[in-house]
Amino acid sequence: MTCTPTDIQMMTRALAFANRAASLGEVPVGAVVYHTNSGEILAEASNRRERDRDPAGHAEFEAIRRACRALGDWRLNDYSLAVTLEPCAMCAGLIVNARVGRVVFGTADPKAGAVRTLYRLLEDTRLNHQAEVVVGVLDRECANLLTAFFRKIRAAHA
C-alpha cells in the first residue's frame, strides 16, 4: 500500500480532469485507470452528473466503464484507479465488481466515502474481491480544489 511515482503522475492527470469538470460546473473529481506495472493509461474521466443528468455520472464510474470497453474485458485485476476523491458506496461496489487491483485516492470524503471514511468496502473479506488501497496522494491539492469549488457555489447562491 505504498504510493509510487506513477501513482503521483496519475493523480496529477486526475486533477487535470477534475479541474476540467469544475470549469464545466461539475463537482471537480477526476479519475484515471492505468496498468499497475507499466503505467499505461487505459481510460480517464471526470464527473458528468450535471451534464448527463445521471446520478451514476461519477468520474471513477465512467473511467472504469471506459477502461473495460477499451480492454474488452470487465476484469481490471492488473489495473489501478487514481481518483481525486474517495469513492462512494456505488463506485466502491463497481470497483469490487470490476476487480480493480488498486485504488489510489486523493482526499477523504467525510459525507460519502466508502473506502476508508464511512465504510471499508474494498477491504471487506466478505466480498468476492478486495483491492489494495493507497490513501492521501496529493491530498492537499485534491481537497483545495473541492473546497474552492464549493466556496464559489455557496458565494453564488448567497
- Residues known to be catalytic: 60
**94 contacts 110 by C-beta, under 8 angstroms:** no
- DSSP code for 100: -
Count Cβ atoms below 10 Å from residue 2 Cβ, excluding itself: 6
Which residue's C-alpha cell is 506513477?
6
* Helix/strand/coil for 136: coil
Backbone angles phi, psi at 146, to 5 degrees: -65, -45
Alpha-carbon torsion (111, 35, 51, 144), positive or negative: positive
Q: Which three cell numbers stand for residue 55?
A: 446520478
* Helix/strand/coil for 143: helix
**30 contacts 44 by C-beta, under 8 angstroms:** yes
